[in-house]
Amino acid sequence: MQLPDLNSVVQLLSYKPEQPLLFNSGLFFWLFLIFVSGFYLIHRHQIFKVLYVLTFSLYFYYLSSGWYFLLLILCTVVDYLIAKGIYNTANTHHKKLLLIFSLLYNLGTLAYFKYTNFFFEIYTGISGGAFEPYHIFLPVGVSFFTFQSLSYTIDVYRKELAPAKNILEYAFFVSFFPQLVAGPIVRAKDFLSQINKPVFVSAEMFGRGVLLICTGLIKKAVISDYISTNFVDRIFDNPTLYTGLENLFGVYGYALQIYCDFSGYSDMAIGIALLLGYELCINFNSPYQSTSITEFWRRWHISLSTWLRDYLYISLGGNRHGKWRTYINQFITMLLGGLWHGAAMKFVIWGMLHGIALGFDKFRMELSKNKKQNFGNTVLGGIITFHFVCFCWIFFRADDMMHVQQMLSQIFIHFNIGILPEFLSGYKAVLSMLAAGYLLHLTPIHVKTKIKNIVIQSPFVWKVALLIISILLVGQFKSAELQPFIYFQF
């Protein structure tokens, strides 16, 4: 057998703009096997462990965004020095200036890469000039690691956290590869204390990690990718070619796709971290089981919603200045949360809709706080919440506002229920995948807990077998090209 030449190996292990490294890729699987083997050889030596994980994390980010890994290093150095300065300075005015510099640096970085063309387009629209977008590459995960690093300086300023002991430990926290490019957004006060602890992976952690990796793989590479390539993308790309019935199911499909895609990544990130002995926060908790929009945001992208609550909503005044100010703060928080997701008016509208809905929900709960919630109201609340979230997903997913208008027009004007038998017959495989995905999502928590305990208590060989079966299943459904994670774009 002929061994690969050096050039081929270098090319394989170099950054490819058209193929950024993904958790569900074969390259990551082999790199992780090599990495974890070395990790368990040196994990008892603290300095070597930190350097080893940090080096791999930076290399992982290089394979995701190329030389923009230097931006990650710069962000790390700047906020480490700022936090250290805040902690060591007794002068309150100097502390504020340092925090403002951290805000300007992190939000300025985010604004340049994500919003330069957005604001320039608005400006040219107002001034009547011709809009020619700048070619600005959006580094993968920049929205996540800037928020993560910014929360560290704010926590140090608020005296809720002491700075990291040294820059290597802080760099370890910021660049930890499982959650680096698409979350969950980790808080320094939850993670820094874990770095110096002896690495210990209990049977419970190992079983939970394997199960999360398997479920994440299946969610992303089987359910999400299949309904995306075979149904959802076609509907959203050309809404007018399909009836309102098909458009409606396209929306239901996208609701499941984005959940399986994003929560699948989070599951894999949390599972990989567990295999290394680190606990990351939960990021999704069956959000489509919510019976109100307030509950939905307690279950969806939990690390972002709590970040926005703790660092934006509370900073605006939270609920401390009366009822109407609370509604305004909530609305502003969700509007900016929408803008965080993307530099387009459709994301602003998406955030505004959720902000209005949260205000209405708060008002409704105040009116009915002494009334008992019966089963019928709970079911109705769940149905209304789910369909409102789906309605908002149209703005989130559509290419532009014209496609939003076309899709809504098809659903509300050209529904055509008469094609239902043909639709059910022609989309059997897609509808079966949709049904399976929603049934899994709506599985009661006690059933999920029982399955988790079975996996945890099973022998090591069975856990490995479960992982192999999941990988083989993914191989059966894999499309010609790997589908990137949706939140890699944000």
> Which residues are catalytic, by number?
341
Dig out the tokens for 324 from the structure. Answer: 């109407």
Radius of gyration of the chain (CA): 24
Q: H/E/C letters for each residue in 272-288? A: HHHHCCCCCCCCCCCHH
Dig out the tokens for 237 from the structure. Answer: 């790309």
Q: Is the dihedral of CA 461, 464, 470, 474 positive or negative?
A: negative
Residue 138 corresponds to which amino acid?
L
DSSP annotation of 280 reads -
Residues 284/299, Cβ–Cβ less than 8 Å: yes
Q: Name the one residue in this structure whose structure tokens are 């900016």.
A: 336
d(CA 271, CA 274): 5
d(CA 191, CA 184): 12
d(CA 104, CA 75): 12
Q: Name the one residue in this structure whose structure tokens are 């510099």.
A: 101
Residues 253/223, Cβ–Cβ less than 8 Å: no
Residue 338 corresponds to which amino acid?
G
Q: Name the one residue in this structure whose structure tokens are 């193929």.
A: 19
DSSP annotation of 484 reads P
Dig out the tokens for 286 from the structure. Answer: 């069956």
Residues 58/69, Cβ–Cβ less than 8 Å: yes
Which of 137, 133, 114, 9 minimizes the C-alpha distance to 64?
137
Which of 18, 112, 27 minimizes the C-alpha distance to 65?
18
d(CA 484, CA 490): 12
d(CA 100, CA 120): 25
